[in-house]
Amino acid sequence: MIRASLKGLGVDPLILIEEAGVDPTARAEQLSIEEFSALARAYVAHKQS
C-alpha cells in the first residue's frame, strides 16, 4: 500500500494521502501521474509549513 511507501518521509502518510485524494489502499505502481503529482504537492506543502 502507498502508506508504507510514504512512511520514511517524516510526514504522516495518511494526511498526505487524504490531502491528495488518493485511495489509501492503492499500491504505488497503481497511481496515475496526477495522483503522484498531488502527493508530491501535499508533501511539499507540509515541508514548507
Compute the average pLDDT of residues 17-44.
96
pTM: 0.88
3-class secondary-structure state, position 49: coil
Q: Is the pLDDT of residue 20 over 90?
A: yes
What pLDDT does 7 receive?
A: 92
Burial 28-44, CB ≥16 within 10 A → b, else e:
eeebeeebeebbeebbe
Q: Is the pLDDT of residue 38 over 90?
A: yes
Q: Is the pLDDT of residue 49 over 90?
A: no
